[in-house]
Structure 1
Amino acid sequence: MMRTGRYSAAGRRAGFTIIELLIAVIIIGILVAIVINVYTSRAEDARQAAVRADLEAICTAQEHAGIDTAYFYQLYCLDDVYQGDGVAPANTATDRADGLTDEAIRTDVSSDPKRIFIDTKDGDVPAGYTGIFNGLLASETRFNWRGPYCNISKKSQINEFTGPTASVQVPAGFPIDPWGRPYLFFTKKGYVDPITLSLVTSLTVSGVAVTSAQIPFDRPTILSLGRDGAVGDGAVPGSVFGQGDDIYRQF
């Protein structure tokens, strides 16, 4: 007896054709792309929120330190406690109580480590910084240091931001933004260099020379270079801090 074609047709339709498989792969690819895009967008939104919270915390810390002691500070000082343990702050593996007085024995800066003060009025390192620090050593109570003023969760490690490949050079314990780069501190006198401990009007950011014309701030400012890690919109030369995806807060 001859079999019907219906049985054979059902057998042929038991699997997927190449076209059907390709369509399925394309649909899965589109869904994966959508999910990745949503995840990336959410992650970037989280970084944006985190950097703004950090900027608020750092600026508020500087304001409180300024009220208490009449000085602003290098950013790595703002989480320093009252008193210390006598261990150099650069020794991140063994330093358990990073106190303001311990800054005198810091070894990862190129200038006198006592140059931690910034005058709140003129925005520069005071000429009598040594005497100010000696007053701190004589009596922290009288000096009125009430730190820690803030505690940014992400900080630089020893030797992490040194050498020509660094975005900017900073010592250990320096606050780092959500994209993994140091925050920058400016006053009306220029960039507060945390290695030379001086106010400078020229610096190198990610291998690109920056001049005073690119530093527009007339008051204390904390800045993140943003996602691209470049000055302003990244145009070379001439891009200005605070443009493009730079994020900053002034106080």
Structure 2
Amino acid sequence: MQKIMLAAAVCLAVSSVASAQTLSVSGAAAARGAEVTLGATSISQMADNTPVTNNGVSCGQTGVNTGENHFWRRFYLATDHSPGPTATVSSVTIALENGGPTGGFPVTVNVYTIPSTVAAETIPTAQLTLVGSGTGTLGAGGALSTATIPVTMSGTVTTATQDLVVEWTNGVGVTTVPPFFPGGNPSAQTHQSFLSAPGCGITEPLATGSGALAGFASAHWIMIVNGTGLPVSLQEFNVD
């Protein structure tokens, strides 16, 4: 009986190790995709919206799958730009570095408001109010591709008192096979990129380059927001 119990314990330990999720990058050979050009009513926090290889980080079983991952940005409309009194989002363009199943995989884009008084460069989820959502497919164009996900709004952003937070995810509790890596590049960004991934112990959005993501400072997500109340001046890119 003791031998059987010991064997069962060993099997359980091996299974636990095998299913452990970790943060990783693709390690793919250097390559670049096509740059995304901003439209007249588009916002980006990147100096260059071209997906490149070996830059994105995700959480999952290395070489096996990607677990539940959430990729975030916070847009500071009133302080960074001169928007209209209210803003809405019609779609969000995101990118894939590589991976995922052939033909792409489903993703969800969520749009939130957050009080502009909340500390900058943070995204505490308790402060978020969902005002829009949409679903689509990422990766239909293969590696180094982008997808524009339509968003249906249930509210608006009051730009004088609220910032805009955008999230995309492969789904709550979802495992994507084979593993995928989000599209981005190490070019300058006006504000931080964030990741949350419960399988890696990151339960709240964490800025890349900090904490558990300290080794991934160059992981800057491509995330372009398209909508109304976002004037052409929002395309201007300034780094302090």
Question: Relative contact order: is structure 1 or structure 2 higher (C-alpha 8 Å, sep ≥ 6)?
Answer: 2
TM surpasses 0.5: no
Which structure shows the bigger proportion of residues in strand conformation? Answer: 2
If the length of structure 2 is used for normalisation, what is the TM-score?
0.30
If the length of structure 1 is used for normalisation, what is the TM-score?
0.29
Which structure shows the bigger proportion of residues in helix conformation? Answer: 1
